[in-house]
Amino acid sequence: MDRCDVAIVGGGPVGLLLACLLAQRGVEARVFEQSLTRREQSRAVGVHPPGLECLGRAGVAERVRAKAVHVRRAFAFSETGSIGQVSFRSLPEPYPFVLTVPQTESERALEERLLTLAPFALSRGERVLSIVPRDEYVDLQLGAAKSFADEPLRSVRARFVVACDGKRSTVRDALGIAYPGAPYREHFVMADTSDETSFADSAAIFLTRAGLVESFPLPGKVRRWVVGLRDRAREATAQLVESLVAERTGQRARASTAVMVSSFTAEHFLAERFVQGRIALAGDAAHVVSPIGGQGMNLGWLDARMLEDVLVSALAEPARADALLARYARERRSAARAATRRAALFMSIGQTRTLAPLRDVAIRAMLSPRWVDRAAQLFTMQGLSSV
């Protein structure tokens, strides 16, 4: 039987960050990831200042920054013209900006950092077959990801387990933890195309009667377009994105240059509890918020940052483990609720059923000199960290 201090189920951005943070503190952490390779297509692209602070703690912030666009300003438009703009320069140093960078780059930086810190910490191609909580440890049975037979590949005994295995978490389901939530009414199609706008390194949001359009710069003179749809049955194509962007904004998202096209329905889910015994949930295994606002991945990194301190203390002082994990569950669930409320606000701003004149007046007020600094904090996840 293999033994370790912390077994992390899921080797995405949250699991990799947690493993790096723990390895730096001398904790023997193992990461078990079902996928044999990293995903090449990125949905998440936004790294907010609190998330970048987490990456900095893991020693990869500068590498990620070098691959990213530094977004220091966002414009808001209605059908009648400009509503206002928000600058992120008022945010505290050293990160008065939002990064836009493909998730694959962040994952690559974290994986290579973990390889340096603990060369054998990451195991790919393994899935959890069973999880058995004990009083002072947790037993895991792992099998080959590609095998259809539930034959154990190995047994692992860990003092603590963290489930970072996503929205369809095997660990959460095995523990019987409820995961209430639902899709929103809004559906979206998005595409990454060559940037033919004049926005340079700024973001832009277009609020029209036909629906929302968001636009973000990406490295390599690429721009992401996220377009709201009334009917999710429409096929997601680059031609559809090009026509809707032109119709609603007057901008061009040339279909022939598209390197990624995808569609999604915004959702929200929140685990009934974040901790059960010596097992904690983090990232999408614990919560899913609407991707409008780009909070999801960053919220998971903030979970990992708090778990770093909680687990290091719990390993050093086992008698305090229950209290420390209870605090994690309480504070991170509260943060997830706050992020869900913010995401709902962002969603409501772009809804076609929102009264446009009232919405435009409200946004102008929010982006006025009196309130714009607070708006910048709201849009960049300030106040959602528990550390």
Q: Return the bridge partners of 227, or none.
A: 189, 213
Written as one string, the DSSP assignment of 94-125 is T--SEEE--HHHHHHHHHHHHHHH-TT-EEES
* Contact present, 160 and 314 (Cβ < 8 Å): yes
> What fold does the segment set 2-72+102-180+270-352 form as a domain?
FAD/NAD(P)-binding domain (3.50.50)
DSSP bridge pairs for 268: 182
CB atoms within 10 A of CB 134: 11
d(CA 169, CA 286): 9
Q: What are the pLDDT digits (tens) for 24-81?
A: 999 999 999 999 887 766 678 999 999 999 999 999 999 999 999 999 999 999 888 8
Residue identified by tokens 């050093």 is 316
The answer to whether the peptide bond before residue 219 is cis (omega within 30 degrees of 0) is no
CA 233 to the chain's CA centroid: 26
Would you say 270 and 283 are in contact if contact means Cβ atoms under 8 Å apart? no
pLDDT digit string (tens) for 294-351?
899 999 999 999 999 999 999 999 999 999 999 999 999 999 999 999 998 888 776 6
| pTM for the whole structure | 0.94
Contacts of 367 (CB under 8 A, 6+ apart): 76, 83, 84, 85, 86, 375
Rounded Cα–Cα distance for residues 2 and 262 (Å): 40
Hey, what are 191's tokens? 């595409």
C-alpha closest to that of 387 among 322, 296, 312:
312
pLDDT in tens, 113-153: 999 999 999 999 999 999 999 999 999 999 998 776 677 78
* Tokens coding 247: 């119709």
Give the number of other Cβ atoms within 10 Å of residue 40's Cβ. 8
- CB contact at 8 A, 264 and 204: no
Q: pLDDT averaged over the chain? A: 92
Cα–Cα distance, 361 to 363 (Å, whole number) = 6
What tens digit of pLDDT does each residue of 166-204 get? 999 999 999 999 999 999 888 999 999 999 999 999 999
Over 70: is that where the pLDDT of 356 sits? Answer: no
In the chain, which ranges are E strands?
A: 2-9, 29-33, 46-47, 69-71, 73-78, 81-87, 98-100, 122-124, 126-133, 138-144, 154-163, 181-194, 203-208, 211-218, 222-229, 260-270, 275-276, 279-281, 287-288
